[in-house]
Amino acid sequence: MSSKIEHLKDLSTLVSLCKRRGLVFQSSEIYGGLGSCWDYGPLGSQFKLNVKLAWWQAMTRRSDVVGLDAAILMHPTVWKASGHVDTFTDPLVDCKDCKTRFREDHGMKDGKVVCPNCQSENVTEARNFNLMFKTFMGPVEDDGAVVFLRPETAQGIFVNFENVQTSARKKIPFGIAQIGKSFRNEITPGNFIFRTREFEQMEMQYFVKPDTASDHFEQWKETRKNFLLALGLKEEKLKFVEHGENELAHYAKAAFDVEYEFPFGWQELEGIHNRGDFDLKQHQEFSSKKLEYFDEANKEKYVPYVIETAIGCDRLCLALLCDAYREEISELDNGKTDKRVVLGLNPQLSPYKAAILPLSKKPHLQELAHKIEADLITHWEVNYDESGSIGKRYRRQDEVGTPFCITVDFESVDDKKVTIRHRDSMEQERIEIEQLTKYIADAFHQWN
């Protein structure tokens, strides 16, 4: 029997797996869906939570980074100070022929703007379109009540710099990490959960003495690369791209994009920026509150520089799913082919850590299998499945990335042993039920 491995070629294969297995559904699907909004189902919400937890622990299980959970709605002046009211815009062009609206840079071809839908050059001048969602606070819908849904989580960190520094008694250098929803009225969202209008960001702002900023920037690049590799992303699918001087955002002194090779091409996954003292100085000016740091040891006062790492949680989930997906195609002896779909996720991220599969529905097997389930569920998310052939049940677990399948058979009742099957090698071992928890815990430990 020969076999070959195919990786994900087409996003639609992943989209349908996600829907079929309850990872990701289209938002408001029964009403025809809502543009570029997605809901995470039972397995997807657990997977996403595992991704957030991995990021959160990597950030905050160090003595120099603390957490924050700021509100989505903020004082409207925040967005004036940050530059979002004036400059968080995309140049928007309308095609006069097919009426498609697109971002000017998405239609650039040989120095001309061409409609990406119908290739017409009959297009309008570019107009700036602000990407922030607006809403009203309180019962009166007038200009004085306008507030914005935050387009990034970073500003919640900047405006709390003083609160966090003094309450956590942190000395520079230190960082503040946050996970939360952001909203951007993107003109051309798409590619499933890659670019959406509502998404979750995982950002960390690290406050440093200005003359040490370049060193910290280099360290964070390394730290973030190691994190992404440890999660399981393939090294050859990641690259670091430095922004040229004229590509830098208004706030940035230096910037790197971490790009990942999605099935639709190389795209930004994470941004690592040296933001200088731009943000704290802007908030000082607009709020008239001092946002300086006093270094007691050197009796020095300064506005810290900020090194930022910013990654979209949904985008990282997509990269991880694309990366993990594989099809193992085998030629069978009878001339037919067999396809095994596997999500080779790092077990730390898998929605289920183990599945418990009684070989038959006989009550004494069910009883033992439920007992094993009750033991394991105190440690991990596990799934009990007794329907269908054992082969089909293995495949169901493979395609959602469950690292271990535990089969309870007729002998298990007498010999107090079960068969444990490994997702990637498909190898099977017979082990004592009493040893299961330790066995699985040790296996996870070795994996990382």
Tally of CA atoms within 13 A in the half-sphere of 365 that contains its CB? 18
Which of residues 310 and 390 has its CB atom nearest to ligand ATP in the complex?
A: 310
Neighbours of 194 (CB within 10 A): 23
Distances in whole angstroms, Cα of residue 144 to Cα of each of 76, 93, 140, 442: 10, 30, 9, 59
If the CB atoms of residues 269 and 321 are measured against ligand ATP, the closer one turns out to be: 269
* Cα 303 to Cα 104, 115, 205, 296, distances in angstroms: 37, 46, 14, 14
The residue sitting closest to ligand ATP, measured at its beta carbon, is 312
Q: Is 93 left (phi over 0), alpha (psi -120 to 50) or beta?
A: beta
For the chain, what is the largest distance between any 2 Cα atoms, rounded to a whole number of angstroms? 81
Distance in angstroms (rounded) separating the CA atoms of residues 414 and 410: 8
Measured from the CB of residue 84, what is the shortest distance to ligand ATP in angstroms?
Answer: 10
Do 202 and 68 touch, CB atoms closer than 8 A? no
**Segment lying near ligand ATP (by CB under 6 A), choices 16-24, 192-200, 239-247, 292-300:** 192-200
The residues in 17-76 that bind ligand ATP, with binding defined as CB under 6 A, are none
Contact letters for ligand ATP, residues 221-260 (x by CB under 6 A): ----------------------------------------
Write down how long the chain is. 448
Q: Which of 148, 199, 256, 278 forms a contact with ligand ATP (CB under 6 A)?
A: 199
Q: What part of residues 294-353 is at the interface with ligand ATP (CB under 6 A)?
A: 310-312, 314-315
Smaller CB separation from ligand ATP, 175 or 312: 312
Note the helical H segments in 325-426: 363-376, 390-398, 412-415
Give me the 131-160 binding string for ligand ATP, x by CB under 6 A, dash otherwise: ---------------------x--------
DSSP 184: -
Select 180 or 271, whichever has its Cβ closest to ligand ATP: 271
Q: What is the nearest approach in angstroms of ligand ATP to the Cβ of residue 271? A: 4
Phi-psi region of 22 (alpha: psi -120 to 50; beta: other; left: phi over 0): left
User: Rounded CA gap, 274 and 211, in Å?
Assistant: 12
Q: For ligand ATP, which residue of 82, 130, 191, 196 counts as binding (CB under 6 A)?
A: 196
172 or 310, CB closer to ligand ATP? 310
Q: Rounded to an integer, what distance in angstroms lies between the CA atom of residue 232 and that of residue 238?
A: 11
Nearer to ligand ATP, 102 or 394 (CB): 102
Of 80-88, 135-143, 265-273, 406-414, the segment contacting ligand ATP by CB under 6 A is 265-273
With CB under 6 A as the contact rule, the residue among 156, 271, 347, 351 that binds ligand ATP is: 271
Task: For residue 174, state whether it binds ligand ATP (rule: CB under 6 A).
Answer: no
If the CB atoms of residues 152 and 373 are measured against ligand ATP, the closer one turns out to be: 152
Among residues 113, 149, 254, 269, the one that binds ligand ATP under rule CB under 6 A: 269
Kindly tell me which residue out of 130, 201, 350, 402 binds ligand ATP, with binding defined by CB under 6 A: 201
Closest CA to 397 of 366, 428, 356: 356
Residue 104 binds ligand ATP, judged by CB under 6 A? no
Q: CB neighbours of 139 closer than 8 A, spacing ≥ 6?
A: none
The residue (of 186 and 386) whose beta carbon lies closer to ligand ATP is 186
Count, residues near ligand ATP per rule CB under 6 A: 16
Residues 337 and 350: their CA atoms lie apart, in Å, by: 28
Q: Quickly list H helices, 10-41.
A: 11-20
Q: Does 279 bind ligand ATP (CB under 6 A)?
A: no
Instruction: Name the site residues for ligand ATP (rule: CB under 6 A).
Output: 152, 184, 186, 195-196, 199, 201, 268-271, 310-312, 314-315
